[in-house]
Amino acid sequence: MSAASEHRVVTERFGELVSGTTDWDAPAPVEGWVARDVVRHLVEWLPPFLETGAGIALAKGPSCDEDPVAAWRSHAAAVQALLDDPATSTREFSHPRAGNAPLADAINQFYTTDVFLHTWDLARATGQDETLDPEKCAMLVAGMEPYDELLRSSGQYGPRVEVPDDADPQTRLIAFIGRDPR
């Protein structure tokens, strides 16, 4: 699946959860966060990442404080437009900590994956369907496990939560990133 297609699928699912949220102050699985903070995180970290790594300035949308639904929709549409632009395939992403990669690949690896992971957080916070694509969960956890120490040292993941060896892929992934799937 292309980076643009992957982004479309992942952000549409996340967008359904955003639209279905009725309590933006509901506690989220990330310590100290509420549902609104999950959206805020995704809307706010990517623009400086793209600016630093590719010289791209995403249009600033509505504030998550004022309207998290509109903030998400605006942001997701801006990223999708970037991925749908044929010129994106020739752009290079270069970041001191993330290395060099084609721009679409960098967005897919860092951002779209982050949206996928935080889909569970928003669903859990808001009492919506937490089901994630099991094949993608299995692929992600298999790809992340060899980098366990590096990922934990980044501060982006909490301590791994122990689950049974025969746990399903989603449970293993959620536990790997430091969330208690129970």
Q: How far apart are the first and last CA of the chain?
A: 31
Q: What residue spans in the chain does CATH classification 1.20.120 cover?
A: 3-129
Query: What pLDDT was estimated at residue 182?
Result: 85
**What number is the average pLDDT over the span 11-37?**
97
Query: What pLDDT was estimated at residue 129?
Result: 97
Residue 147 has pLDDT above 90, yes or no: no
Query: What pLDDT was estimated at residue 156?
Result: 78
Q: Measured at the alpha carbon of residue 151, what is the angle toward residues 79 and 124, in degrees to the nearest 5?
A: 60
Express each pLDDT in 44-94 by its tens digit. 999 999 999 999 999 899 999 999 999 999 999 999 999 999 998 789 999
Work out the pLDDT band at 149, boundaries 50, 70, 90.
confident
- Cα torsion at 97, 94, 81, 129 (round to 10°)? -20
Express each pLDDT in 91-138 by its tens digit. 999 988 778 999 999 999 999 999 999 999 999 999 999 999 999 999
Query: Residue 99: in which H helix or E strand, if any?
Result: strand 99-102
Quick one: three-class SS letters along the chain? CCHHHHHHHHHHHHHHHHHHCCCCCCECCCCCCEHHHHHHHHHHHHHHHHHHHHCCCCCCCCCCCCCHHHHHHHHHHHHHHHHHCHHHHHCEEEECCCEEEEHHHHHHHHHHHHHHHHHHHHHHHHCCCCCCCHHHHHHHHHHHHHHHHHHHHCCCCCCCCCCCCCCCHHHHHHHHCCCCCC
Domain covering 3-129 assigned CATH 3.30.70 in the classification: no
Residue 136: phi and psi, rounded to 5, are: -65, -40
Express each pLDDT in 83-95 by its tens digit. 999 998 789 999 8
Looking at this protein, which amino acid is placed at residue 18?
A: V
Query: What pLDDT was estimated at residue 157?
Result: 83
Please tell me the distance from the alpha carbon of residue 168 to that of residue 182, in angstroms, as a whole number: 13
Query: What pLDDT was estimated at residue 104?
Result: 95
Residue 154 has pLDDT above 80, yes or no: no
Query: What pLDDT was estimated at residue 173?
Result: 95
